[in-house]
Chain A
Amino acid sequence: MTELATMDFHSQPPAGEAKPWAFPAPERGTLANGLTVLHCHRPGQQVVAVEIILDAPLDAEPAGLDGVATIMARAFSEGTDKHSAEEFAAELERCGATLDAHADHPGVRLSLEVPASRLAKGLGLLADALRAPAFADSEVERLVRNRLDEIPHELANPARRAAKELSKELFPAGTRMSRPRQGSAETVEKIDSAAVRAFYDRHVRPATATGVIVGDLTGVDLEALLGDTLGAWTGSAAEPRPVPPVTADDTGRVVIVDRPGAVQTQLLIGRIGADRHDRVWPAQVLGTYCLGGTLTSRLDRVLREEKGYTYGVRAFGQVLRSAPDGSGAAMLAISGSVDTPNTGPALDDLWKVLRTLAADGLTDAERDVAVQNLVGVAPLKFETAAAVAGTLADQVEQHLPDAFQATLYQQLAATGTVEATAAAVNAFPVDRLVTVLVGDAAQIKEPVEALGIGAVKVVSAE
């Protein structure tokens, strides 16, 4: 039974005239201490974002000390030559700032956000942290214990557990990429302040670092401000570290991480593929979006909106590490969770979606909508200073030109259906995908084996 509406209907309105928008072009300079600085004035953005990129990648961690980059990153906000750990946290919060730091394969990133009115103070604290971190024994010891306490929480989280297993499965044993970014219990417990200090001395210096500053910089004398803050950081000259290529074994197979009684199965299906240096990147972005970028993409159209197996499944490409010579790679993956009884049918449908894509390709209409979305959302996506700074910092970290993002939008608009199809099919070949399932093996193993998507092995969740 349907119901009659009582409103006056009007036909769908046409779009107005688009207003020009371009991804902001930063200004680039170098301080006397060798620090590269990019800045970008964004009128109205009252919270200024500052990103620092340090050439201290995970594969620089000494053998057996996985996690030392992470502990160092966290220890930056635990006191300096001017403030104790408690005082430093208090001073940051006093200027309404937040400072986050994390270590990943390309390097260590620090992200400061501070109201424009207190930028000088916030930037001063950040500079102190980089220039003269205290790395006090007792604070590092606490960070180590804290990190050890976090590990069981991560293992209990299905999405994080799946990510850990996929890295282990995909990358050659012995490579840093095969192991948890933040270290394991065995390696973290060996870290002390001397190890953190040694890692800092070896890998942290202004000459190999870059700062990105974005926000409403009205009335800010940036040169003087930088001179007083980040300019006071000193260090020896050094060549950038060479970046090793990324390799992986994507032989089609399935690993079930057993969680008896789980009401859902967490899926993570991945391999590695092209990063932003590859000419295929715009087509891969477009094709991946059509496959699983949103609720109306192919995967969710079936798995969610037709079958109701899931709250949502996404396909994505995330750069792992890039090199100037193009030997880097991105993780290409499909992730989501499906209810336990429907795990087999959901995977069956997922593979059908991939096979159909390979057989019939994308439609022009799909391609058009995807381009309109990916290009059209740019002004929304980069409304805040933090979003712009984050993207500029990613570009630096991935050895890309400052105009990369702006150019990408032109390339996306020029990418056709055939190229997008080819890129998506190459990114997600049905027989070259490593599938990690975190779920109840007793219930899902048999139906998954029946699908023929690769050999199935079961490992314990612990």
Chain B
Amino acid sequence: MPMGHTATAQAGSGGLTATEHRLANGLRVVLSEDHLTPVAAVCLWYDVGSRHEVKGRTGLAHLFEHLMFQGSGQVKGNGHFELVQGAGGSLNGTTSFERTNYFETMPAHQLELALWLEADRMGSLLTALDDESMENQRDVVKNERRQRYDNVPYGTAFEKLTALAYPDGHPYHHTPIGSMADLDAATLEDARAFFRTYYAPNNAVLSVVGDIDPEQTLAWVEKYFGSIPGHDGKPAPRDGGLPDVIGEQLREVVEEEVPARALMAAYRLPEDGTRACDAADLALTVLGGGESSRLYNRLVRRDRTAVAAGFGLLRLAGAPSLGWLDVKTSGDVEVPVIETAIDEELARFAEEGPTAEEMERAQAQLEREWLDRLGTVAGRADELCRFAVLFGDPQLALTAVQRVLDVTPEEVREVAKARLRPDNRAVLVYEPTEPTAAEAPADQDENEEAAR
């Protein structure tokens, strides 16, 4: 039977609360009421992502996510999409390194349908999964890869940098989209085994947020999900731990048909869920977030050597996070000019730390980003799942803003000094080549494409 406890509103949570429950089969459930708008969000995080994939089967977690929309025991073909959209809802699923999520936002009176649908595929996907959907979605995903990565300038930068920043064999060495060769190699039996291993109620967290009656919602969850058997077949994920710093500067120069030179880099940063990670977030914001950051002011406004310059943070819980630098050069400016300026700015920041005003700005920006994320029922449902799956406590979602506001300038300086150094980064340099001649053989095999 579901057991629950009610938390009180926390400082910085904007009065939001969440309750936690667990079904006998191990499914964790998080509920959060908000009656301002007659909508309800359902979010289901499975604790499986591309880090769980094995060599030769990259992209399987994401391909599998597509198969979750191809019907299940009581839902025919595209029924999942059809029923949700026909009820006035919206839905999707996404796959990252550390998790796969599925979500529906529904008019409040259609909540039960979304729960029924999610339960149906959690419990009976394999009764519907067949070769036809496998072959079809393999092609769809390969076209997704082409559209988002292979056919756009700098499209494979993320993949290349990730491969540099995490060593060969590391669970985060490859990205969720996977390689063309591995997508081709995946079999129906791989997909079945993947489902049997990872898609179980005790490997998932379900959150329901919005205009809901918690007691009724919990009764529906019990009714639809309660009989799905849990199992413990999931192997422990490979260890993603790495030393705090890389210890050398890794570097790859890409000569490709791109519109301008670019300098990108990935710095190894503290794991998500730590105070040091929040401090790193603030450091990156001061240095490269928005149009008043140090790098923007230096490269775009003053030196005028770059079109765009910024830092982003890829938060990861099971491996070091990545601090993500992206600079596109202006005109004929050469990459070393940019690199020297960046190193000067980073070194200066490591010595001085942020000014009081820079801290205020960075904290205000991150606070607003949190308000945005928690401002919709879907955003809140996703964050509750995130903290429940990655850190075991959904309540942490409601206090995340406060933790960012608690960080001191000295902590920001410390993490910058320790991590934002040339010997702790993987660098990717793009040097444009002339357009391919029209007569060049363009009939490339997809496998060669992937092997490049």
Contacts and interface: CB of A to CB of B under 8 A. Distances in A.
B331 A6 contact: no
A248 interface: no
A7 B37 CA distance: 34
Contacts of A5: 73, 123-124, 126-127
Interface in A418-462: 440-443, 461-462
Given A86-B292, A89-B292, A262-B151, A47 B39 contact: no
Nearest to A311: B144
B116 A149 contact: no
B435 interface: yes
Contacts of B81: 294-296
B435 A96 contact: no
A260 B143 contact: no
Interface residues of A, number: 91
Contacts of A310: 140, 143, 147
Contacts of A319: none
A47 B143 contact: no
A194 B141 CA distance: 51
A189 B48 CA distance: 51
Given A153-B260, A369-B86, A260 B307 contact: no
B113 A373 contact: no
Contacts of A373: 85-86, 88
Contacts of B340: none
Interface in B260-295: 260, 290-292
A89 B291 contact: yes
Interface string A249-266: 000000000101111101
B123 A6 contact: yes
Interface centre among A263, A339, A373 (most CB of B within 10 A): A263
Contacts of B150: 263-264
B440 interface: yes
B39 A93 contact: no
Given A85-B301, A309-B139, A377-B90, A369 B82 contact: yes
Contacts of B140: 304-305, 308, 310-311
Given A157-B152, A158-B152, A443-B443, A15 B110 contact: yes
B449 interface: yes
Interface string A75-104: 001000000011001101111111000000
B364 interface: yes
A318 interface: no
A261 B116 contact: no
Contact of B331 (A16, A149, A156): A149
A47 B371 contact: yes
Given A16-B110, A372-B86, A372-B87, A94 B136 contact: no
Interface in B139-194: 139-144, 146-148, 150-153, 192
B421 interface: no
Interface stretch (B221-229, B239-247, B408-416): B221-229
Interface in B339-386: 357, 360-361, 364-365, 367-368, 371-372, 375-377
Nearest to B328: A153
A442 B442 contact: yes
Nearest to A17: B109
B108 interface: yes
B297 interface: yes
A295 B78 contact: yes
A10 B331 contact: no
Nearest to B115: A13
A235 interface: no
A17 B216 CA distance: 14
A33 interface: no
A384 B375 contact: yes
A46 B380 CA distance: 14
A18 B260 contact: no
A360 interface: no
A27 interface: no
Contacts of B258: 156
A115 interface: yes
B451 interface: no
Contacts of B33: none
A86 B364 contact: no
B56 interface: no
B438 interface: yes
A19 interface: yes
B399 interface: no
Given A153-B259, A383-B376, A94 B360 contact: yes
A18 B108 CA distance: 7
B326 interface: no
A142 interface: yes
Nearest to A86: B297
A262 B153 CA distance: 11
B431 interface: no
A327 B20 CA distance: 57
B19 interface: no
Given A13-B112, A260-B438, A383-B375, 4 more contacts: A7-B227, A11-B74, A17-B109, A86-B297
A-B pairs, top 8 by smallest CB distance, nearest first, are A376-B88, A308-B139, A7-B123, A5-B124, A96-B368, A96-B364, A16-B109, A152-B259
Interface of A: 2-13, 15-21, 43-47, 77, 85-86, 89-90, 92-98, 113-115, 118, 142, 145-146, 149-150, 152-153, 155-158, 258, 260-264, 266, 294-296, 301, 304-311, 337-339, 368-369, 372-373, 375-380, 383-384, 440-443, 461-462
26 contacts: A5-B124, A5-B126, A7-B124, A15-B87, A47-B372, A94-B361, A97-B368, A115-B371, A149-B328, A153-B260, A155-B259, A264-B143, A264-B151, A294-B85, A301-B78, A304-B140, A307-B136, A310-B140, A310-B143, A369-B86, A376-B87, A376-B88, A380-B89, A383-B37, A383-B377, A461-B435
